[in-house]
C-alpha cells in the first residue's frame, strides 16, 4: 500500500567532508532529524567526501549517502549540495568552510572552529559576508543541545540562580594512558592545533559560557605533555614527538565578575568521558554531567533551610527542551540525539533567515580562550587576556 501524502517542502542537499567518528554521528543526525521533528526543508544526503577512495565509498553505502567524492573542492562545487558539513581535523576547517561559504553553501563546522585565532577570525569574517546573502554558518558544540543543559540555561536566564559567582568545567578522559598508543592526528599540533585543551576543553569552555550567559576575559594556565614520544601510525617501529598538550588546567575570570576553574585531560585514570559543568549563584546552583546525560541537579537557596538540598530533575518530559519530539515522558535519550537537535536548529535558522547559534563568532570567542590558555601556559608568567 502506498502513501498518498505529498511533501512540498524544498529539498536541502547535504554534503559532508569526513566519515570517521564525527562523520558517523552527523550522518545519523541528518538521517533521523526528519523522522522526529517538523522541518522547513527535506534534508537529502547528497554526497560524502574522504581522501581514501575505497573507504569513502564504503562509508557512503553504510551511512546512507547518495554519492561520494575524494576531493572536497568537487563536493563544494556540486549543484546538489546546498550545505557543507565539515567533520575533518581542525587543520582543514578554515579552508573548507570559507570556500563553501564563498560558493553560497551553508556550513556546519565541527568544534573547535579552527586551529588558530587567525583562522577562526577569517572564518567568522567569511560567515559575516555570507550572512548578508542569506548563507548561514554554525559551529557544532553539540552538548548545548542536551535537554538538561538547555533547561539549565533557561533557569539561569530566568534568574533562578541570581548573580553567578563560580563556574566550574572539567572534561576528564583516559584516552592516552597507554604510552604505546600510535601518534594519531589528534597528537600533532599541525593537524589538531592543541590536545586535550581543544579536543575536550573547548566543550567545557563553551558550555560554561553558554550556561552563564557570560564570556571569559582572562585566564592563568598550566599545560603538560606526559608522554612526549609515541610510535608512528605507519607501523614502522619508529617514534615521533607528541606536539600537543595531554592536560590543561586554568583559572578564569568572566566579564560579569564570576570566577572559573577548568580542567581538561586525557590522563584521568578511571574516567572515560567525564564532562561536568557546575554554576554557583547567589540564589542557587546547577550541575550537569555527561555520565547522567538526562539529569540536572538543582539547588534552590530560596527554599526553607529544613528542606534545602540538591535535587535531581529527570529532564525527559514533553515540556522539556527537545524531549517532546522523542519518547513518552520518562524515557531517556542519548549522546547521538544531541547532533539531531543540532541540525534541527540549524535548518530552522536557515529557514527563518537568522544566524544560528553557536555562530562562527561564538566559535572565534572560544578559540580566543584556547589561545589565551596556550599563551599563559607557554609564558609561565600567569595571566593572559582573551582577545579575538
pLDDT in tens, 131-142: 999 999 999 999
Please tell me the predicted confidence (pLDDT) of residue 8: 78
Instruction: Please tell me whether the overall predicted TM-score, pTM, comes out greater than 0.85 for this model.
Output: yes
Q: Mean pLDDT, to the nearest integer, of 103-109?
A: 98
Please tell me the predicted confidence (pLDDT) of residue 9: 85
pLDDT in tens, 50-100: 999 999 999 999 999 999 999 999 999 999 999 999 999 999 999 999 999
Cell of 36: 522526529
The span from the CA of 248 to the CA of 308, in Å, is 35
pLDDT in tens, 12-21: 999 999 999 9
Write out the residue limits of the CATH 3.40.50.720 domain(s) in the chain. Answer: 10-142
Please tell me the predicted confidence (pLDDT) of residue 4: 44
Mean pLDDT over the full length of the chain: 96
Q: CA nearest 145: which of 352, 321, 273?
A: 321
Local confidence band at 3 (pLDDT 50, 70, 90 cut-offs) = very low
CATH fold of 10-142, please? Rossmann fold (3.40.50)
Residue 347 vs residues 11, 76, 280, 342: alpha-carbon distances, Å: 11, 19, 34, 9
Please tell me the predicted confidence (pLDDT) of residue 2: 47
Q: Mean pLDDT, to the nearest integer, of 319-347?
A: 98
The span from the first CA to the last CA of the chain, in angstroms, equals 58
pLDDT in tens, 250-281: 999 999 999 999 999 999 999 999 999 999 99
- 375 Cβ neighbours under 8 A, 6+ residues apart: 384
Chain-centroid distance, C-alpha 233? 27
Q: How buried is 70 (Cβ within 10 angstroms: 0-12 exposed, 13-18 middle, 19+ buried)?
A: middle
Please tell me the predicted confidence (pLDDT) of residue 238: 95
The span from the CA of 38 to the CA of 35, in Å, is 8
Q: CA nearest 106: which of 134, 144, 78, 132?
A: 134
Beta strands in 37-152 (DSSP E): 41-49, 68-69, 83-86, 106-110, 137-140
Long-range contacts made by residues 5-11, C-beta under 8 angstroms, separation at least 24? 7/42, 9/39, 9/40, 9/41, 9/42, 10/41, 10/42, 11/41, 11/42, 11/43, 11/44
The span from the CA of 214 to the CA of 350, in Å, is 26
Q: Mean pLDDT, to the nearest integer, of 222-244?
A: 95
Other CB atoms within a 10 A radius of the CB of residue 51 amount to 13
Q: Are 203 and 237 in contact (CB under 8 A)?
A: no
Please tell me the predicted confidence (pLDDT) of residue 269: 98
Please tell me the class of the 147-292+294-333 domain. Answer: alpha beta
Write out the residue limits of the CATH 3.30.360.10 domain(s) in the chain. Answer: 147-292+294-333
Local confidence band at 6 (pLDDT 50, 70, 90 cut-offs) = low
Please tell me the predicted confidence (pLDDT) of residue 261: 98
Amino acid at each position: 500500500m502506498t502513501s498518498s501524502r505529498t511533501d512540498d517542502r524544498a529539498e536541502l542537499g547535504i554534503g559532508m567532508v569526513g566519515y570517521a567518528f564525527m562523520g558517523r554521528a552527523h550522518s545519523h543526525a541528518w538521517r533521523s532529524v526528519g523522522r522526529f521533528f517538523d522541518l522547513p526543508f527535506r534534508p537529502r544526503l547528497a554526497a560524502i567526501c574522504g581522501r581514501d577512495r575505497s573507504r569513502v565509498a564504503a562509508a557512503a553505502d553504510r551511512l546512507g549517502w547518495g554519492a561520494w567524492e575524494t576531493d572536497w573542492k568537487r563536493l563544494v562545487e556540486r549543484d546538489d549540495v546546498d550545505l557543507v558539513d565539515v567533520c575533518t581535523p581542525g587543520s582543514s576547517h578554515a579552508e573548507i568552510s570559507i570556500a563553501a561559504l564563498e560558493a553560497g553553501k551553508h556550513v556546519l563546522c565541527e568544534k573547535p572552529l579552527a586551529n588558530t585565532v587567525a583562522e577562526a577570525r577569517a572564518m567568522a569574517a567569511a560567515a559575516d559576508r555570507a550572512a548578508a546573502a542569506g548563507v548561514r554558518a554554525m559551529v557544532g558544540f553539540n552538548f548545548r543541545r542536551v535537554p538538561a543543559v538547555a533547561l539549565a540555561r533557561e533557569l539561569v536566564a530566568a534568574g533562578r540562580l541570581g548573580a553567578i559567582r563560580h563556574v566550574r568545567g572539567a572534561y576528564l578522559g583516559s584516552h592516552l594512558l597507554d604510552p604505546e598508543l600510535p601518534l594519531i592526528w589528534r597528537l600533532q599540533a599541525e593537524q589538531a592545533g592543541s590536545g586535550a585543551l581543544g579536543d575536550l576543553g573547548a566543550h567545557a569552555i563553551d558550555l560554561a559560557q553558554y550556561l552563564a550567559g557570560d564570556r571569559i576575559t582572562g585566564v592563568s594556565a598550566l599545560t603538560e605533555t606526559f608522554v612526549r614520544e609515541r610510535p608512528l601510525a605507519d607501523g614502522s617501529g619508529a617514534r615521533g614527538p607528541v606536539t600537543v598538550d595531554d592536560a590543561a588546567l586554568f583559572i578564569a575570570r568572566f566579564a560579569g565578575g564570576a570566577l572559573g576553574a577548568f580542567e581538561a585531560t586525557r590522563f584521568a585514570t578511571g574516567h572515560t568521558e567525564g564532562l561536568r559543568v557546575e554554576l554557583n549563584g547567589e540564589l542557587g546552583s546547577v550541575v550537569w554531567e555527561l555520565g547522567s546525560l538526562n539529569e540536572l541537579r538543582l539547588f534552590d537557596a530560596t527554599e526553607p533551610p529544613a528542606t534545602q538540598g540538591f535535587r535531581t530533575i529527570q529532564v525527559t518530559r514533553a515540556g522539556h527542551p527537545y524531549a517532546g519530539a522523542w519518547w513518552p515522558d520518562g524515557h531517556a535519550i542519548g549522546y547521538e540525539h544531541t547532533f539531531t537537535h543540532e541540525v534541527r536548529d540549524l535548518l530552522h535558522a536557515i529557514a527563518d533567515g537568522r544566524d544560528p547559534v553557536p555562530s562562527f563568532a561564538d566559535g572565534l570567542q572560544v578559540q580566543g580562550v584556547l589561545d589565551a590558555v596556550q599563551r599563559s601556559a607557554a609564558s609561565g608568567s600567569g595571566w593572559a587576556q582573551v582577545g579575538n
